[in-house]
């Protein structure tokens, strides 16, 4: 491959793929962590509302506990359905594999150590 063609490929395809995988990995990881923290906090809030509701007879506490439990269930369903953590892990692996292949190519080792068979 000519130097100019390789540089064009590197810029137009490889670097764009790397930046895309980095962006997707970061986005999915942030979504996963945000949803997890919301589930944790709302689960604790639900428990507290139910506990206080046993001591104080208030419709607002009962409704608050019900609403927060529905939100927790919804967030858990979203987390399970869209697999943000698995997606993040997949994009991180793809990124590492692409970088590995690039360094193998640069070092002319592995599959890149053999001469071209045209």
Which parts of the chain are beta strand (E)? none
Question: How far is residue 72 from each of residues 11, 21, 27, 82, measured CA to CA in Å?
Answer: 44, 30, 21, 15
Query: Does the reported pTM lie above 0.85?
Result: no
pLDDT in tens, 69-111: 999 999 999 999 999 999 999 999 999 999 998 888 888 888 8
Q: Which two tokens stand for residue 87?
A: 């997606």
Contacts of 98 (CB under 8 A, 6+ apart): 14, 17, 18, 21
Whole-angstrom Cα Rg for the chain = 25
């Amino acid at each position: 491959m000519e130097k100019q063609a390789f540089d064009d490929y590197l810029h137009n395809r490889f670097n764009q793929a790397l930046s895309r995988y980095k962006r997707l990995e970061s986005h999915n990881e942030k979504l996963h962590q945000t949803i997890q923290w919301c589930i944790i906090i709302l689960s604790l809030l639900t428990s507290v509302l139910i506990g206080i509701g046993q001591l104080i007879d208030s419709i607002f506490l009962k409704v608050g506990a019900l609403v927060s439990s529905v939100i927790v269930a919804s967030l858990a369903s979203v987390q399970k359905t869209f697999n943000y953590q698995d997606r993040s892990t997949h994009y991180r692996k793809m990124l590492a594999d692409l970088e590995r292949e690039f360094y193998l190519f640069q070092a002319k080792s592995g599959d890149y150590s053999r001469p071209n068979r045209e």
